Amino acid sequence: MMISRLIRPLAAAAWCLTPCLAAEPMRPAFHYTSPVNWLNDPNGLVWHDGEYHLFFQYNPHGDIWGHMSWGHAISRDLLNWEHMPVAIPEKDGIMAFSGCAVVDVANTSGFGKDDVAPLVAIYTGHREGIQDQRLAYSTDKGRTWTMYEGNPVLDIGIADFRDPKVFWHEPTKRWVMAVALSLERKIAFYSSQNLKDWKPLSHFGPVGSVKGIWECPDLFEVPVEGTDRKRWMLTVNLGDAAPAGGSGAQYFTGTFDGQTFTADPLPPTPAAEPISSGKVIADFERSGYKGWEIEGEAFGTRPSRGTEDGQNPVGGYLGSGLVNSYGKGDAPTGRMTSPEFTLSGGFLNFLVGGGASPERLAVNLLVDGKVVHTATGRKSEELRWVAWPVAEFKGRTARIQLVDEESGEWGHLLFDHAVLSDKPARTPIENANWVDYGPDFYAAVTYSNAPLVDGRPTWLAWMSNWKYAVATPTSPWRSAMTLPRTISLRMEGGRARLIQHPIDQLEKLRREPIRMSRLSIQEANKRLEDVRGTRFDMRLRIDPGGAEEVGIKLRVGGGQETLVGWSRASGEVFVDRTKSGNVDFHPDFSGKHGGAVTLQDGMVELRIITDDCSVEVFADGGAVCITDLIFPSASADGIEFYAKSGKPQIVAAEIYPLHPPEK
């Protein structure tokens, strides 16, 4: 497991087929990037003497993962960053993996001198087969660092034991460390009086999402909105299987008594939707395609029994048969069209998988020979439910058409179990509390010792995903941090939900806004005709007015667009980056990512922040966040509202162009 973790970046590098040429136009204006080279997790986030320190996983020798060291930057406002030299280097073949930093106010470690409280970094030392916890310290405000000669300070002799986060626990007057036992899906807690000698306290897990390895924990107190209470929160990052695919983060709320973290119950597992109870149109359980018209070679002459020769494992279909156009590999093309059937019920539900290409790999619903709905796969061999609202076509005859015109990589479609039903079918994700529903928010940790905004901690994350991080098309730098966010909890039906907002300082970058109220989509778009830009902070309040889908297109131009919208069928706010620009540098990049929201007074409310290569969405009052990287052409800089059906109204919009921080 550890080995696969380490070769992951190198393997993924093979996907960088298009030369990763100079893409400085992608460099964000107000998200932290290093001048050159590779960066991943934020490390050692600590505030000291008016300065925010940002250390980070850094490769001083190249733009893919390797030679992990702690890079360093300093800021007074979390937006303007001064680049500093490497703080903790790889040394004697031991890499400096992720960790934290604290201000040792009482000099418990003895590293302080002349009454100067030391900054102490606690990080993981990594070499083949062993990960242990180590210290480095600074007595000159983080400018220079000394590795402790007594390292390691915590070694239990195992290979996957990493990412310590340490805080001072005032009630028990000692330091507490949360650290990941990655392969066991556990967080271990330790205590210490001096940061050098550590005693085991307890373990937490496995619980919640456990498909991916566990990394980068954090444990801290968070204020509950509208009360003067706080609750403990444990965050755990997952190497895989997060809702948007690949790496992501889950959180647990609960109590911590200085010894043990006890989690509140997880949200109830979503009940399986009665998808099979409707009228089945096609289930592909028989030996032939019975009544379907077949053209070309792609779909063969009969249903597939699952995974075909040379294909990665296919999953998520019902029964034992499905349509799988990989029978003879990706190359063949073709179509198949169902017999006519009469539309009834509210939704046509079906399972779809395979490649993602709205034009060339499609499931279409034809009514009177016209395409009224279309869907594609998501570059995954796992089939997922799609639900099309069909009430408006009730009683009309329709046909389902499957199209495979794609011969290249991922040139195949998977399809199964089309059923007319009163309810939309959903593919349940693992039962956990998710920090962000986008793919690009990983390894977030909170600032230590920092001034709290209304009691709210601040954190930031690495804005990428282990699935494709080493292939992202930027140069000579690779990877950015997310915007810093403040954190609180909101009680909903007895459950504490994580609420995140971008830091207030962002407002300093705002220019004169475009304001709108009570406009139709057409009227609003007239106002946006001459608006161009890549960096915006916008607040939108939209009345869907019966629309099936409504939202805003960002980075529009030359056939490119990034959609931020709300879908009635799924009840989700989403970011769709399938046409966002350069999506081909890795097969797992293209996609649509969303989280279910509750509308307030029937209104879709969105805060959206865009920088040159990112979109960050805050919906449902900050309870549903979606972070997505995008790589559009610099000339794709238009914005426009859009809707599918209905008569939506832009009830209120404030669209602020953002200006880079003053240097």
Q: Does 97 bind ligand FRU (CB under 6 A)?
A: yes
CA-closest candidate to residue 28, choices 629, 657, 650: 629
- Which amino acid is located at 242 in the chain? A
Give the nearest distance from C-beta 354 to ligand FRU in angstroms. 29
Kindly state the helix (H) or strand (E) to which residue 521 belongs, with its residue range: helix 521-528
Q: Are 451 and 444 in contact (CB under 8 A)?
A: no
In the complex with ligand FRU, the residue whose CB is nearer, 415 or 466, is 466
Give the nearest distance from C-beta 163 to ligand FRU in angstroms. 5
CA-closest candidate to residue 235, choices 260, 215, 255: 215
Tokens in use for 660? 């880079």
In the complex with ligand FRU, the residue whose CB is nearer, 68 or 653, is 68
Q: Are 142 and 53 in contact (CB under 8 A)?
A: yes
Q: Does 40 bind ligand FRU (CB under 6 A)?
A: yes
Q: Does 162 bind ligand FRU (CB under 6 A)?
A: yes
Please give the torsion angle defined by the CA atoms of residues 467, 616, 638 and 357, in that order, rounded to the nearest 10 degrees: 30
Q: Does 98 bind ligand FRU (CB under 6 A)?
A: yes
Tokens in use for 62? 């190249």
In the complex with ligand FRU, the residue whose CB is nearer, 245 or 648, is 245
Q: Does 467 bind ligand FRU (CB under 6 A)?
A: no
Helix and strand counts by DSSP (H, E) for the chain: 2, 44
Give the Å distances, CA to CA, from 554 to 18, 159, 281, 548, 576: 24, 44, 37, 19, 10
Give the nearest distance from C-beta 46 to ligand FRU in angstroms. 17
Q: Does 434 bind ligand FRU (CB under 6 A)?
A: no
Among 20, 26, 39, 68, binds ligand FRU (CB under 6 A): 68
Q: Are 42 and 460 in contact (CB under 8 A)?
A: yes
In the complex with ligand FRU, the residue whose CB is nearer, 98 or 500, is 98
Among 104, 132, 163, 404, binds ligand FRU (CB under 6 A): 163
In the complex with ligand FRU, the residue whose CB is nearer, 125 or 377, is 125
Q: Does 463 bind ligand FRU (CB under 6 A)?
A: no
Among 87, 443, 639, 658, binds ligand FRU (CB under 6 A): 443
- How many amino acids of this chain bind ligand FRU (CB under 6 A)? 12
- Using CB under 6 A, which residues numbered 47 to 66 contact ligand FRU? 57
Q: Does 216 bind ligand FRU (CB under 6 A)?
A: yes
The three-point CA angle 366-368-374 to 5° equals 20
C-alpha 352: how far from its chain's center?
22
Site track for ligand FRU across 388-427, x = CB under 6 A: ----------------------------------------
In the complex with ligand FRU, the residue whose CB is nearer, 1 or 116, is 1
The residues assigned a catalytic role are 41
Look up residue 392 and give its DSSP letter: G
Tokens in use for 334? 């073709």
Q: Does 440 bind ligand FRU (CB under 6 A)?
A: no
Among 109, 124, 151, 446, binds ligand FRU (CB under 6 A): 124
- In degrees and rounded to multiples of 5, residue 384 shows phi and psi of -130, 155
Tokens in use for 381? 């061999």
Task: Show Cβ contacts of residue 219 under 8 Å, excluding neighbours closer than 6 positions.
Answer: 165, 167, 176, 178, 189, 232, 233, 234, 235, 256, 261
Contact residues toward ligand FRU (CB under 6 A) are 40-41, 57, 68, 97-98, 124, 162-163, 215-216, 443
